[in-house]
A and B are shown apart, each in its own frame.
Chain A
C-alpha cells in the first residue's frame, strides 16, 4: 500500500502526467518511502504485463469491406453521392486541388511522411471501395501483361503462395497524383498492397515507416519505386518485402 493520498500521484508519475516540479517531488518521495516505491514497482509491472500481454484485435479485410459498404449506403449516402456528382465534379476537383496545394504548403509534412500518408490512404481506399483488384488472378502471366500500357514501368509481379503470400491480382491506383500499379497479396486475413511507380526525381532510397498503425516498406528497384503497405504486423510486411526484393 502507498501512503494515503499518493496512489494517483504515483500512477500519474508512471504515466508521464506530472509537471517537472511535481515529478521531482514524487521521485524524491519514492526514494525515501519503501511502501510507495514498492507500489510504483507493482503498477509498473502491471502496466507492462497488460501492454505486452493483451490482444490487439485488428479488423480483417472482409470487415473493412463491410464497413465501407455500410458507410456508402448509409443515411443520405453522402459518400456515394460525393463520388458521383458529375456536374460539380470539375469545380470541386479544381477547388480540391487548390485546397490541397494550400494544405500541403501550410502543413508542409516531410516528403516521406506525405507519400506514406498517400500510400496508406490508397491502401485503405482499396479495401473500403470494394475495389481491390481490376484483374483478379494468381498467375503472373495474367497480371503482368495487364499492366502493360497502363503504367510507365515494368511491374514484375510474382506469386509467393508457397511462402504464405498468394498473389490476388492487380489494379490501377493513384499515389502522389500519378497512376501506379497496385499488386495485391493476401496473408491470412490481411491484404498487402504493393504500389509500383516509375522513380521520382530524388525519390530514391529505401526505408520502413509506420503511418497511423499501418506498416510501409519503401524501396527502389531498377527505375521503379515500390511501397508495400499493410495493417499486418511489422515482421509480416518485412517478410514479404524481403521476398519481393529477392525477385528483382
Chain B
C-alpha cells in the first residue's frame, strides 16, 4: 500500500485497483471520491453489526455511540490500507479496538444496572406482535434474563460469545477480530458459555442487572 497522495492518472490507468478490498496484494490507488464511494458500498452496510457489537461491549448506550462514531472515523481513515477480503470482520475489529482504547480513557463506573442498555426499549415488543399477553410477558422476561446474563460476562468472554452466537462469526473470524489465536477463541468460548449456562440456570437469571 502506497502512502503517497493518490494520483488521478494512475487511478485511470489501473481501474481494477478501485476494488482493492477484493484483490489482495494489488497496490490500491484511489481518489478521495472513489475511496468514499467504495467505503460507502463496502463498510456502511455493516453498520447494524458494528452497532450491536458496540452495544454489547460498552453496555452503556451513550458509550456505545461514542465508540461507534470513533470506530467509523477510524475505519474511514484507514480504509486505504484495508487489503483483506472481508469488510465486516475488518470493521468489527476496529469497533473492538476502539472500545478498548475508549475504556482505558473512560473507565466504566461501577457495574451499574444497564438493564435497558441493550434492548433499547422498543425491540422487545415490536418483534413479538402476534404472541398473547402472557407469552409476550414470558418472552420479555426471558429476553431480559438472557441479556443480563450476557452482560454479566467478563469482557473477554462476552466478546467471543457475542461474535459467535449473535453475529455468527467463524472461529477464524473471531480470532482476527479479537486478535487472539484460534485456540484462545475456543477456550474463551467454552469458558464464556459455561458461565452463561451457570448464570441462566440460577432462578433469578444470574446477572447483576435486574
Contacts and interface: CB of A to CB of B under 8 A. Distances in A.
Interface in A46-87: 46-47, 49-51, 53-60, 63-64, 66-67, 70-71, 74-76, 78-79, 81-83, 85
A145 interface: no
Contact of A46 (B17, B22, B197): B197
Contact of A92 (B34, B46, B73): B34
A192 B146 CA distance: 30
Contact of A8 (B37, B126, B150, B186): B186
Contact of A76 (B77, B118, B170): B77
A3 interface: no
B36 A55 contact: no
Q: Which of B15, B19, B35, B123 has the most CB of A within 10 A?
A: B15
A67 B186 CA distance: 34
Contacts of A93: 33
A11 B142 contact: no
Given A49-B146, A55-B147, A67-B68, A107 B35 contact: no
Contacts, number: 190
Contacts of B104: none
Interface residues of A, number: 68
Interface stretch (A26-34, A177-185, A199-207, A211-219): A211-219
A7 B197 CA distance: 14
A35 interface: no
A58 B190 contact: no
B72 interface: yes
18 contacts: A8-B189, A49-B146, A50-B161, A54-B143, A57-B119, A59-B51, A63-B65, A66-B69, A75-B73, A78-B36, A83-B33, A85-B33, A91-B8, A95-B11, A100-B18, A120-B45, A124-B47, A231-B48
Interface of A: 7-8, 11-12, 15, 17, 42-43, 46-47, 49-51, 53-60, 63-64, 66-67, 70-71, 74-76, 78-79, 81-83, 85, 88-89, 91-96, 98-103, 106-107, 117, 120-121, 124-125, 128, 188-189, 211-214, 231, 233, 235-236
